[in-house]
Amino acid sequence: MSANLVGDVTMRYADLHPQSPAEAAPVLLLHGFGTDFGMNWQAAGWPQLLGAAGLRVIGPDLRGHGASGKPADDTAYLPERFTSDLVALLDELGVERVDAVGYSMGSRLAWELALTRPERVRRLVLGGFGPVNAFDGTDLSALGEGTTPFDQVFRTVAALPGNDPAALAACARGQAARPFSAEPPVAVPTLLVTGAKDEIATGAAELAAAVDGAHVEVPGRDHVNAVSSRLFKQAVLDFLTS
């Protein structure tokens, strides 16, 4: 499904199992940079897992990604622009509160939603995320040309079929313009789940402690493959249904 929610940017989204019990908060799945709902979540079996537990799943392709609109202006990708998209989507669907589950960039945006609109978030899951600056040392005017971890990520995702390198570059610069800060902290129950080999998620345990949350580390997994881990999925399911 798709909708024009904010300005002229069209958002493509999935709304799965909408007949789930009314008392169960829908799960809003927010994908990482350079991927989309299908690549990040569906391919790893998340909708099936959550649906089997009786949970409604809302999965947008974030602006600049997947089948959603891909503006080329850096300011179109400030975190608050994504938050406006998400709130508009929930309003469109008549959903008051969700359990926001993010991965990588999606976690940064889930945090922003919980921080600025806490009344719309019941529980928060941050996957593949820590308080480190993902853009540290990266030349944002020449993305993909350097040797930093983010340069390597950019080269990989920019080459994926259907991706627009110019839109992804604008997205990176927009995100970098609002560096992540754990102050003020979010005030909703929070779980962080990270692969033990995920350098991008360095500091996740400390961030979890700072928000009185929990942290689960997945042995042997890195930033690319942690999201498909059975342990990761079970930890999130237990947290959402407890």
The residues spanned by each domain of the chain are: 2-241
Q: What is the dihedral of CA 33, 160, 75, 91, to 10 degrees?
A: -60
Whether residue 27 contacts residue 101, with contact meaning beta carbons closer than 8 Å, is answered with yes
Encode 34-76 in three state secondary structure. Answer: CCCHHHHHHCCCHHHHHHHCCCCEEEEECCCCCCCCCCCCHHH
Residue 49, pLDDT score? 96
Amino acid identity, position 60 = P
Q: Write out the chain's pLDDT in tens, 242 residues.
A: 656 666 678 999 999 988 777 778 999 999 999 999 999 999 999 999 999 999 999 999 999 999 999 999 999 999 999 999 999 999 999 999 999 999 999 999 999 999 999 999 999 999 999 999 999 999 999 999 999 989 999 999 999 999 999 999 999 999 999 999 999 999 999 999 999 999 899 999 999 999 999 999 999 999 999 999 999 999 999 999 98
Rg (CA), the chain: 16
Residue 19, pLDDT score? 79
Whether residue 168 contacts residue 242, with contact meaning beta carbons closer than 8 Å, is answered with no
Whether residue 85 contacts residue 196, with contact meaning beta carbons closer than 8 Å, is answered with no
Residue 4, pLDDT score? 61
Q: What distance, in Å, lies between the first and last C-alpha atoms of the chain?
A: 31
Whether residue 64 contacts residue 154, with contact meaning beta carbons closer than 8 Å, is answered with no
Fold for 2-241, please state it.
Rossmann fold (3.40.50)
**Residue listed under structure tokens 């402690």:** 209
- Give Cβ neighbours of residue 58 (< 8 Å, ≥ 6 apart): 13, 14, 15, 16, 26, 27, 28, 29, 89, 90, 93, 95, 98
Rounded CA separation 58/18 (Å): 9
Rounded CA separation 9/4 (Å): 6
Residue 53, pLDDT score? 94
Residue 52, pLDDT score? 94
